[in-house]
Amino acid sequence: MSHISSYHADIRLQTALEQGKSVEQDPGWEILNGAVWACAEEMNLDVGHSIRDYYGRLVYCDWSLSGPAFDRGIGINVDRETGDVVFICDSYGGYERIAGEIKERVIQNYIALCVTRALSALNYDVEVQEVKHPVDGKKVLVKGVL
């Protein structure tokens, strides 16, 4: 028998925490770093470690993504106790859409990197393909053959 499953994906970096290690040692930390840099390349953004709020005050974070059209930036923090991944942004003044797009792109890249790695770990030969759709946006297709 074969089947088709549909999942909702959530990011929580808990593997290292459960082993008594720091969250920076979690395998997901490196994957998240890769997802952030991939997003920066795709959307022509800069990666840093701080964002600014409406008043121009600096807020430090684990990663930040900003660009000429979005100089305040969006920040990504990983909770050191729970491993929860939190996106922070002062979107007041019309930045909700761009902040939302960046957030969803980082998450999509994270999922694609995880699925690729997981299939490789299960000894599948993996191919990755990106499909851009004018309405649905970007889709990533990952195929593993055993």
Partner 1 sequence: MARTIKAEIGPKRQVNIEFSGFPGESCFDEAERLRSVLKGLGLWAIPVTVTPKSSSQLSRELGEDVAEKKKVLHS
Question: Where along the sequence are the contacts to partner 1 (CB under 8 A)?
Answer: 1-15, 26-28, 31-32, 83, 104-105, 107-108, 110-112, 114-115, 117-119, 121-122, 124, 136-146
Residue with tokens 């430090």: 60
State in Å, rounded, how far the first CA of the chain is from the last one: 16
For residue 62, give both structure tokens: 């684990």
Nearer to partner 1, 26 or 90 (CB): 26
Dihedral pair phi/psi, residue 37, rounded to 5°: -65, -35
Which of residues 47 and 142 has its CB atom nearest to partner 1 in the complex?
142
Buried b (16+ CB within 10 A) or exposed e, 66-102: beeebebbbbbbbeeeebebebbbbbeeebeebbeeb
- Residue 76 half-sphere exposure, CB side, CA atoms within 13 Å? 27
Min dist. Cβ of residue 5 to partner 1 (A): 5
Q: Which residue lies nearer to partner 1 by CB, 52 or 103?
A: 103
CB of 6 to partner 1, least distance (A): 4
Least distance to partner 1 from the beta carbon of 13, Å?
4
CB of 45 to partner 1, least distance (A): 17
* CB of 53 vs partner 1, minimal distance in Å: 27
Closer by beta carbon to partner 1, 95 or else 110:
110
Instruction: Return the number of the residue (58 or 135) whose C-beta is nearest partner 1.
Output: 135
78 contacts 32 by C-beta, under 8 angstroms: yes
